[in-house]
A and B are shown apart, each in its own frame.
Chain A
Amino acid sequence: MTSPTRPSLDDPALAIPVDRAGVFEPIPMARTERQQEFYSLRDGEMLINLGPQHPSTHGVLRIVLKISGEQVVDLDPVIGYLHRGVEKLCENADYHQAICYTDPLEYLASLFCEWSPVMAFEKLLDVQVPRRAEYIRVLAGELNRVASHTLYVGFFALDLGGITPVLWSYLERDEIVEILAALTGAKLLFNYFRIGGVNGDLNHEFMSRLGDWMSHASRQVEAGTALLNENEILVRRARGIGTLDRDTAMRMAVTGPNLRASGVPWDIRRAHPYSVYPELEFDVPTRSEGDCLARYLLRVDEIKQSLRIIDQCLHQMPDGPIMAKLPRLVRPRPGRAWAAIEGPRGLYGTYAISDGTDQPFRMRIHDPSFVHLQLLSLLVPGNLIADTMAINASLDPVMGGVDR
């Protein structure tokens, strides 16, 4: 039922005229002051479409750049090309089924996308997760974090024009993916966490593969990043570019490595501890520069911390069940729950409302990539076109998470 009196956004009468000179350029309808300002071109300026099919937009992001020569004057990120309605899908599935819809949100860190809804549902149901299950979750999650960060290192270099590091970082990721496949049965979309525990216990193949990998993991990371850390071209292109200061970072609700690279030591694993992180020893690395290089180096530091956590998990792994006792069909009492975790890109949060049925009444997902994408309009203008890719890569947005 739509009311006929409600104004439509596509009504041409509502369009604000745009002052444009180009004959061939299709003139979009401007509906806001901002759009009118952006799509009006001054002398010597030109609009250029970056994406959705572009080699370095990390998926199907479209950025309309307003450039003057090589310099970016302004930009307009256009999102929504990967919208699948995940939140709505989750509201039409029961609690167990909803988990698998959240998996492909961020395909580089699927376990973290499962983790926060699972935690929210556990809060709704008031379930105590067995300690062994929590340890397995942390173990698998940190493995996934290393996989995501190593890929970040490679793609950051790729967007700066180096073609080799990305394939070297796949070396690491392939091993981790095999390890996780031994544990979860899948390589990309794991669907491993369950409400009240995890899907399967540690097995022999997982342990042997993990042992193999752990014996050379830190050396491999060192070797891979040593090629980049001391590369003059990479350092010169990343240092001082896209500097995000502390106050702006906090004002823009930046989380995760991007925030810590700006000097704020805020890590949800320490700030609002969940799971078994209070029992584990690890540092929260921070850097004060806030530029692309700092964001890159911070991720390298985080890989090392993750390796520490994995090591501790293996040593402290308790015996016991891996699932809490739960009925097959769960009907939580009416209520609301918010659960946030620290993912490789920042805060992954889920807000779920239960109305007492077996399906979530409302489910909302907070994804860090969406928040970080907003930084582009702050950081990029004034830099060159090439820096757009550097900044975009250093912020590490995954479009699956942005568009949901």
Chain B
Amino acid sequence: MTAVTRRPTLPARALLAGVLLLLVGGLVITLAAVLLLPPLVDFLAANTPLVRFAVAALVLLLITIPVAFIVIYMELKVIARMNLRVGPDRVGPFGAAQSVVHGLKVLAKEDFTPFGVDVAVYTLAPVAVFLTTLMTILVVPFAPGLYGQDFNIGLLYVFAIGGLNVVGLMMAGWGSFNKYSLLGALRAAAQAISYEIPLALAVVGVIILAGTMSLNSIVEQQAGTVFDWNLWRQPLGLVIFFIAAIAEANRTPLDMTEADQELVAGFATEYSGMRFGFFFFAEYVNVFVVSCLVTVLFFGGWNAPFDWPFPVAIDLDPAGYEAWLAFLLVAGPIVGTVALAALLRFFVDWMRWPGALLIAFLLVNLLAVGALVGLAFVTFDWVVGLTWMMVKSFAFVFTFVWLRATLPRVRVDQLMGVAWKWLLPAALVNIFVTAAAVVLVWG
């Protein structure tokens, strides 16, 4: 007979560990707060721009996650519809959580390093690609006052950082020890060099008109109705910018770097797991950034397309309601829920009390959230601006996805030909005409 040893069960051990962790951790945090917080607060108060930058960077880092998920979901669902498929429909309503599950799957995969790779370069490549994409968002103005940083050389910064993107791709191609990756990376380099030029030259017209490279100022100058947007003053610039932006975001029909029918997956061939995930994350965030840039430069950024009445100043004085406010906040939801549940119970045949209460509770909450959002929308200008900005940007994201579902891929020499023979001369003509117009007509 073996002696029965009494060991704590697994949940008990987990609980014990948790309690210990909380005790020790709480103690440490309290001590740290007491000792470090006052000087830290003083330091932060003395360096407000630094704090603003840190918060902006954190928010931008976090914003990429939902943005990439939405773009991936659009990619899955829109292309599926155009392909006469249903697309993902298992996880979440209409498969909306599919990209979240994709992200978790990629996280859970083995972090595999193939034989022969240059480990440092191979490991850092996804980071480099993702960071450059992230850094580009910093200057995108989402709404009045809602931006990471407002440089007076904002546009230059975007192109400079966007050009760095190719370094990451080259690192991936070189470090992977794979000929497909190498070919993809060399294509990426050639493509980036070719398309950076028309991309940058296409917006020179906008810069001439705006007189500044700050994206905020460019947007502010397009305020008014749809006819005040740069779209009408720079149609050729818009076309060139959009075509070059497709190449810049590595999207079909100009996705030479990862042409799956030719180079398997291009520079990402040897990557798997979260490293591969970072590449894809970067790609989709890149699509969003490029869409934002098109919106900001040519489609008025956060400006509404017509004389939009919002935001309006609503003069609310909560203190004036006194006890009624407290009653509204405390009793309002309960009364509303019960009243709605009663209505459901007596007018819907199959409804019983528990179900009716649940549904009424959800409806009342929805109503409250909707009312709050509506209030915010009509009151705060950055909510209105953000809404317009997102609507326009995602319209362009949709266009990118649409293009991918529709067009075959161009050949690599045709790609170069378009850039050097058509886009570059057209961009130069655009600059010349814009400059002449500014000097002769407005000057």
Contacts and interface: CB of A to CB of B under 8 A. Distances in A.
Interface of A: 24, 46, 48, 54-56, 70, 157-164, 167-168, 171, 231, 233-234, 236-237, 384-389
Instruction: Across the A-B interface, give the 3 residue pairs with the lowest CB-CB distance, nearest first.
Output: A161-B409, A162-B408, A167-B83
Contacts of A167: 83-85
B89 interface: no
Contacts, number: 80
A164 B411 contact: no
23 contacts: A24-B177, A48-B183, A158-B261, A159-B261, A160-B409, A161-B253, A161-B259, A161-B407, A162-B407, A164-B82, A164-B405, A167-B85, A231-B407, A233-B253, A233-B410, A236-B410, A236-B411, A236-B414, A384-B411, A385-B263, A386-B411, A387-B411, A388-B262
B406 interface: yes
A148 to B, nearest CB: 20
A48 B1 CA distance: 66
Given A162-B407, A168-B84, A55 B260 contact: yes
A164 B404 CA distance: 9
Contact of A384 (B84, B405, B412): B412
A160 B179 contact: no
Contacts of B82: 164
Contacts of B287: none
A389 B259 CA distance: 11
Among B116, B260, B407, residue most surrounded by chain A Cβ atoms (within 10 Å): B407
B413 A56 contact: no
Contacts of A168: 83-84
B274 interface: no
B252 interface: yes
B264 A160 contact: no
Interface in B391-409: 404-409
A161 B407 CA distance: 8
B321 to A, nearest CB: 58
Contact of B84 (A157, A171, A234): A171
Interface in B228-284: 252-253, 259-264
Contacts of B263: 385
Nearest to A238: B408
Given A48-B180, A163-B83, A385-B183, A157 B408 contact: yes
Contact of A385 (B79, B177, B262): B262
Contacts of A163: 79, 83, 252, 404-405
Contacts of B85: 167
B413 A164 contact: no
Contacts of A389: 261-262
Given A161-B261, A236-B411, 4 more contacts: A24-B116, A159-B261, A162-B406, A237-B408
A231 B264 contact: no
A293 to B, nearest CB: 13
Contact of A161 (B177, B252, B264, B413): B252
A55 B116 CA distance: 24
Contact of A56 (B84, B261, B404): B261
B394 to A, nearest CB: 21
A237 B410 contact: yes
Nearest to B116: A24
Contacts of B405: 163-164
A53 to B, nearest CB: 9
Interface string B186-201: 0100000000000000
Nearest to A231: B408
B83 A384 contact: no
A54 B178 CA distance: 14
Contacts of A387: 411
A164 B83 contact: yes
A236 B407 CA distance: 13
B264 A54 contact: yes
A53 B79 CA distance: 25
A contact face: mostly helix, strand, loop, or mixed? helix
A386 B262 contact: yes
Given A237-B411, A384-B412, A46 B259 contact: no
B292 to A, nearest CB: 26
Contact of B259 (A158, A233, A386): A386
Nearest to B404: A163
A233 B409 contact: yes
Contacts of A159: 261
Nearest to A228: B408
Nearest to A70: B412
Given A161-B408, A385-B183, A386-B259, A237 B414 contact: yes
Contacts of A164: 79, 82-83, 405-406
A46 B181 CA distance: 14
Contacts of B264: 54-55
Nearest to B410: A233
Contacts of A388: 262
Interface string B307-345: 000000000000000000000000000000000000000
Nearest to B85: A167
A167 B183 CA distance: 29
Nearest to A170: B84
Contacts of A161: 252-253, 259, 261, 407-409
B53 to A, nearest CB: 41
Among A171, A233, A236, A237, residue most surrounded by chain B Cβ atoms (within 10 Å): A233
B117 to A, nearest CB: 12
B413 A384 contact: yes
Interface string B76-91: 0001001111000000
Contacts of A171: 84
A392 to B, nearest CB: 10
Contacts of B406: 162, 164
A163 B177 CA distance: 29
Contacts of B409: 160-162, 233, 386
B408 A233 contact: yes
A289 B84 CA distance: 34
Among A161, A167, A237, residue most surrounded by chain B Cβ atoms (within 10 Å): A161
Interface string B400-439: 0000111111111110000000000000000000000000
Contacts of B413: 70, 384
Interface in B150-209: 177, 179-180, 183, 187
B408 A70 contact: no
Given A24-B116, A237-B410, A160 B83 contact: no
Nearest to A159: B261
Nearest to A168: B84
B179 A48 contact: yes
Contact of A70 (B183, B253, B261, B404): B183
Interface in B73-105: 79, 82-85
Contacts of B253: 161, 233
Nearest to B115: A24
A383 to B, nearest CB: 9
A56 B405 CA distance: 18
A70 B180 CA distance: 11
Nearest to A227: B406
B412 A386 contact: yes
Nearest to B84: A167
A53 B405 CA distance: 24
A237 B406 CA distance: 16
A311 to B, nearest CB: 26
Contacts of A160: 261, 408-409
